[in-house]
Amino acid sequence: MTVRKRPLPPDPGAEQALRILDEIRRTVPLETRPVALAEDYLRAVKQVEGLPENQDGADKTWVERVVRQSREHFAQARRIR
């Protein structure tokens, strides 16, 4: 597994969402039961995981660039009424 060289800047929205989810997890009992995955789904996952760009050592720096650009884009968004 490749470790990211540069950490992404903290995302306050993500931190708030995690706090909310933690609170829900502590206060709302959740039923757990086995999840059945369809064979078509499992085949698709295997196919995607086998792609060259999903292998260890593959260049994934584009992910950081896309995340940064996405955050910058949505940070400039303004509500229109």
User: How many independent structural domains does the chain possess?
Assistant: 1
Note whether residue 5 is domain-resident. no
Q: Whole domain around residue 65: which residue ranges?
A: 12-75
Integer Rg of the chain from CA? 18
Residue spans of alpha helices (H) in 1-81: 12-27, 39-49, 61-75
Q: How many CA atoms lie within 13 A of 4 on its CB side?
A: 9
18 within a domain of the structure (yes/no): yes
Residue 42: predicted pLDDT: 97
Summarised one tens digit per residue, pLDDT across range 8-45 is 777 888 889 999 989 988 888 877 778 899 999 999 99
Three-class SS of residue 54?
A: helix
Residue 2 in any domain: the answer is: no
| 67: Cβ contacts below 8 Å, ≥ 6 apart | 8
What does the alpha-carbon distance between residue 28 and residue 30 come to, in Å, rounded to a whole number? 6
| Lowest mean pLDDT segment, chosen from 25-34, 53-62, 72-81 | 25-34
The predicted structure's pLDDT at residue 13? 86
In a domain, 1, yes or no: no
